[in-house]
Amino acid sequence: MKERSRIGRLGGYAEEVAAAVRRRRETRKPRVRARIGHGEATVLADDSPVGNRLLEISQRLVDEERRSSGRA
């Protein structure tokens, strides 16, 4: 039984890696994925004011980190 649970767990990891590779290959604009109050994940609409604001803030954070680490 232990062997079966390991295989299931490895399969889960493989699926996660495959999904990450697919996301990197896709060319799409950034999106905002947020967790709401009770932990449910949701993706904010492209034209969402809150989503746009979060994208702006996150881009500023990335830019600032690059500047402070000398990678700008």
What are the extents of the domains in the chain? 2-69
Residues 6+ apart with CB under 8 A from 45: 51
Once rounded to an integer, what is the mean pLDDT over residues 26-35? Answer: 76
Tokens 């449910």 — which residue?
A: 40
Query: How many C-beta atoms surround the C-beta of residue 34 within 10 A?
Result: 13
Q: Convert the pLDDT of each residue in 57-69 to its tens digit.
A: 989 999 999 999 8
How far is the C-alpha of 22 from the C-alpha of 36, rounded, in Å?
25
pTM of model > 0.85: no
Dihedral Cα 44, 46, 48, 54, nearest 10 deg: 70
Cβ atoms of residues 32 and 48 within 8 Å:
yes
